[in-house]
Amino acid sequence: MNEKINITINGKAITADKGETILNIASANGIEIPNLCYLKHLSPYGACGMCVVEAKGSPKLLRACSAVAADGMEIETNSERAVKTRKAALELLMSDHDGDCKGPCTLNCPAHTDCQGYLAKIAENDMEGAVKIIKEKVPLPAAIGRVCPHPCETACRRTHVEEALSIAALKAFAADEVRKSGKSVLPEIKKNSGKSVGIIGGGPAGLSAAYYLAENGHKVTVYDKMPKMGGMLRYGIPEYRLPKAILDCEIEEIKSLGVDFRNNVMIGKDITLEEIRNSHDAVLIANGAWKSTAIRCKGEDLEGVFGGIDFLREVALGNKPEIGEKTAIVGGGNTAMDACRTAKRLGANEVSVIYRRTRNEMPAEDIEIEEATEEGVIFRFLTNPDEIIGENGKVKAVRLQVMELGEPDEKGRRSPVPVDGEFITLELDSIIIAAGQRNDSFGFEEMPVTKKGTIIADEKSFATSLDGVFAAGDCVNNGASIAIEAIAKANNAAKAINAYLNGVEVSFREPVLSEREVTKEMFEGKEKQSRVKMPTRPADERSKDFGEVNLGLTREEAINEAKRCLSCGCHDYGNCKLIKYADDYCVDCKKYAGENHPAFTETKLQVIERNQNKCILCSLCVRECEDTAKKGILGLVGRGFDTVIKPEFRDSEVIKDCVSCRKCVDACPTGSLRFIQK
């Protein structure tokens, strides 16, 4: 029988076998001591410096992986000195760790959708797998894939080779394919929590929050003032961009999770905010921004003046606003593009877009501008309404002030300034003001608001001044943005509400991530492959009806497009111990600047890719190969700072052993090793 000793770890009395290390004793008793270079079946190495602990009476920190416990020891694993030492070790390791935890596409997506993950599934012809990944962040993939201005593509590193991937279109494609197959990808619902949440607003924010709260076992009721759910996706996006039958399918899936939809319910008229609060354990306000912004121009109150959102909503409701033969849209965003293209489809012969800057400054997507131009829309750049002229109370013309771009400000932005005495008069039957949108505070008078009229909510927790009431989306703080931004905020609000209902605190800080700095030269060897071109209906045909403009991709096109992905993010991010600890200790990855170890990627082992950029020289792979696999293929090469790990072949036959072994890959704590052949 082994001789026993008694020690204390973090105040816990423990009896252990004599001769055991502090790390093994702690692990056997459910106490984690961070480590990056230790596996129980290998001899201690002590390279990472992470497992340091403090022993009472000892002047120095002990490495728990190699320090043998002695009877009567009192150990603190998280003393101030130990934590400080670990953090310093991590910051040194991260300063030499040149890799991307997540791809720039994911980081630039407001919802942090795992673009790389679902593109990989599409490349494998696994559409259900792709949709499952997408729905971890976006429960409306077919809709969002069609309307999102895709900031993910702006960040795509494929632009260093030729063109960005068609990420948004692939999202929609995968969702469409699953829908056409008659299947649904739904989350596993957790046990009924016995709690209920009332959500005010059935737009992208409200629907997303409903999805994730229902997933967590809460009873969710969504209240919306419109006849159908969808919010701006239904009433602000034209049919030719987003067919409502597709939106209906995705909304029905959310309903199938047990979410109760209550339409034609106006807060402040049919029910009060207080009544909703009394009916639920928590409330989320996500009522959007439904009021068009005025431009404070003389004549704006004339008959024939429409707000951009008001105009699109009326069309979506099946009405046909009287815009006449000649109309103009004021604005340069996507709402202005939706309005001008809708006006063409309603039969207006002459449709103009009035924008006070140039084409280069237009915030609308290039494709929207190009397709509007193809459909006959006239763009009148560097003009701004000075007065809307009326006759008998109705719009007759608009007087436009000619503008020019002034001197750049400190950010390099050139603001438009009037050209003295230069005006243009444009005869019109109507004018549509698409210069922005704002929150409607009717029914929410008790909520504190900003100067913009938006509801004030905590930027991270989305909690308002009323207990149990949260707010997210276009109605909050900075106001209206793109749908994926509203979804992202609603997702975080749902997490906050779930935590509130469970009586726990939730962290809202951004995770620590490693981000690689890249240059165009790094991609010089990549084969050029053109981006797939979305086929569209001819302009003279599509501008006459509201049928969908895009014809969609074939499965072969989608798979080939997905294969263009460079897989920038780390394949092993979810299992990486290095980044887990870096996040736990909130390290500054850029604290120590200086020369890095030699960096390269090699495939000499043929079945294993070694990325030296991510290697921390823990030597787990070397020791596994030597001590466990008994092959000794890997070794430390060089001396001092220039030391790297490389394969040292004695004969070519040893490569065959790697196919079935993979012990080095499984041992790597940083994703430096990757299997490339099975």
CATH of the domain at 46: 3.10.20.740
- pLDDT higher than 90, residue 211: yes
- At residue 610, the pLDDT reads 85
Q: How does pLDDT run across 561-606, given as a tens digit for each residue? A: 999 999 999 999 999 999 999 999 999 988 887 777 767 777 766 7
Point out the least confidently predicted range of 136-145, 220-229, 600-609, 665-674.
Answer: 600-609
- pLDDT higher than 70, residue 652: no
Q: Which of helix, strand or coil describes residue 83?
A: helix
- At residue 596, the pLDDT reads 73
Q: How does pLDDT run across 136-187, given as a tens digit for each residue? A: 999 999 999 999 999 999 999 999 999 999 999 999 999 999 999 999 999 9
Closest CA to 387 of 299, 294, 295: 299
Q: How does pLDDT run across 288-301, given as a tens digit for each residue? A: 999 999 999 999 99
The last residue of a domain, from among 512, 535, 562: 562
311 occurs within a structural domain: yes
- At residue 601, the pLDDT reads 78
Going by their DSSP bridges, the two strands 74-76 and 4-9 should be labelled as: parallel
Same domain, yes or no: 296 and 430: yes
Q: In what order do the strands lie in the sheet with 601-602?
A: 601-602, 608-611, 673-675
Same domain, yes or no: 8 and 55: yes
573 occurs within a structural domain: no
- At residue 376, the pLDDT reads 97
- At residue 632, the pLDDT reads 84
357 occurs within a structural domain: yes
- pLDDT higher than 90, residue 518: no
Same domain, yes or no: 273 and 361: no
Same domain, yes or no: 308 and 417: yes
- Structural tokens at position 183: 């299947």
604 occurs within a structural domain: yes
- At residue 600, the pLDDT reads 74
Closest CA to 355 of 376, 323, 390, 328: 328
- At residue 517, the pLDDT reads 84
Find all residues with CB under 8 Å of 401, minimum gap 6, and list them: 383, 384, 385, 386, 418, 419, 422, 423
Closest CA to 342 of 309, 379, 315, 305: 315
The last residue of a domain, from among 94, 118, 146: 94
Same domain, yes or no: 327 and 429: yes
Domain that holds residue 203: 196-290+444-502
Read off the pLDDT band of 629 (50, 70, 90): confident
Q: How far apart are CA 484 and CA 591, in angstroms?
A: 33
- Structural tokens at position 493: 């609000």
Are 148 and 168 contacting, i.e. CB atoms less than 8 angstroms apart?
yes
Q: How far apart are CA 476 and CA 489, in angstroms?
A: 10
Q: How far apart are CA 246 and CA 140, in angstroms?
A: 10
Are 368 and 466 contacting, i.e. CB atoms less than 8 angstroms apart?
no
Q: How far apart are CA 569 and CA 119, in angstroms?
A: 12
Q: Angle at Cα 642 formed by Cα 639 and Cα 647, nearest 5°?
A: 80
Neighbours of 378 (CB within 10 A): 14
- Structural tokens at position 279: 């009916």
- pLDDT higher than 90, residue 492: yes
Are 521 and 238 contacting, i.e. CB atoms less than 8 angstroms apart?
no
Q: How far apart are CA 215 and CA 405, in angstroms?
A: 51
Q: Which helix (H) or strand (E) holds 177?
A: helix 167-180
Same domain, yes or no: 241 and 301: no
What residues form DSSP beta bridges with 277?
none
- At residue 678, the pLDDT reads 52
Q: What percent of the chain has pLDDT over 90?
A: 81
Are 578 and 670 contacting, i.e. CB atoms less than 8 angstroms apart?
yes
What would the 3-class secondary structure string for 386-402 be? EEEEEECCEEEEEEEEE
Same domain, yes or no: 397 and 419: yes
Q: How far apart are CA 657 and CA 661, in angstroms?
A: 6
Q: How far apart are CA 445 and CA 450, in angstroms?
A: 12
232 occurs within a structural domain: yes
- At residue 410, the pLDDT reads 74
Q: How far apart are CA 262 and CA 224, in angstroms?
A: 6
Give whole-number Cα distances, 570 to 48, 151, 536, 600, 606, in Å: 21, 20, 35, 15, 20
Sign of CA dihedral 452, 453, 454, 458: positive
Running DSSP on this structure, what letter comes out for residue 456? P
- Structural tokens at position 70: 């002695």
The last residue of a domain, from among 437, 470, 492: 437
Same domain, yes or no: 251 and 307: no
Same domain, yes or no: 311 and 398: yes
CATH number at 668 reads: 3.30.70.20
Are 475 and 448 contacting, i.e. CB atoms less than 8 angstroms apart?
no
Half-sphere exposure of 490 (CA within 13 A, CB side): 35
Half-sphere exposure of 618 (CA within 13 A, CB side): 32
Same domain, yes or no: 348 and 430: yes
Q: How far apart are CA 98 and CA 515, in angstroms?
A: 7
330 occurs within a structural domain: yes
Q: What percent of the chain has pLDDT over 70?
A: 97
Rounded to a whole number, what is the distance in angstroms from the first to the last CA of the chain? 45
Rg of the chain in Å (alpha carbons) = 30
- As a whole number, the mean pLDDT across the chain is 93
409 occurs within a structural domain: yes
- At residue 159, the pLDDT reads 95
Q: How does pLDDT run across 361-412, given as a tens digit for each residue? A: 999 999 999 999 999 999 999 999 999 999 999 999 999 999 999 888 777 7
Going by their DSSP bridges, the two strands 430-433 and 326-330 should be labelled as: parallel
More confident residue, 553 or 452: 553
511 occurs within a structural domain: no
- pLDDT higher than 90, residue 670: yes
CATH number at 460 reads: 3.50.50.60
Same domain, yes or no: 297 and 384: yes
Going by their DSSP bridges, the two strands 634-637 and 469-471 should be labelled as: unpaired
Closest CA to 335 of 299, 302, 363: 363
Q: How far apart are CA 399 and CA 612, in angstroms?
A: 65
Are 631 and 617 contacting, i.e. CB atoms less than 8 angstroms apart?
no
- At residue 409, the pLDDT reads 75
Are 671 and 622 contacting, i.e. CB atoms less than 8 angstroms apart?
no
Q: Angle at Cα 401 formed by Cα 399 and Cα 404, nearest 5°?
A: 160
Total domains in the fold of the chain? 5
- At residue 1, the pLDDT reads 58
Are 455 and 474 contacting, i.e. CB atoms less than 8 angstroms apart?
no
Half-sphere exposure of 623 (CA within 13 A, CB side): 17
CA 104 to chain centre: 10
Are 491 and 485 contacting, i.e. CB atoms less than 8 angstroms apart?
no
Q: How far apart are CA 540 and CA 562, in angstroms?
A: 31
Q: How far apart are CA 581 and CA 99, in angstroms?
A: 16
* Site of tokens 């293209």: 341
- At residue 657, the pLDDT reads 75
Find all residues with CB under 8 Å of 385, minimum gap 6, and list them: 295, 297, 330, 354, 398, 399, 400, 401, 431
Q: How does pLDDT run across 237-271, given as a tens digit for each residue? A: 999 999 999 999 999 999 999 999 999 999 999 99
Same domain, yes or no: 535 and 611: no
Closest CA to 427 of 463, 465, 459, 400: 400
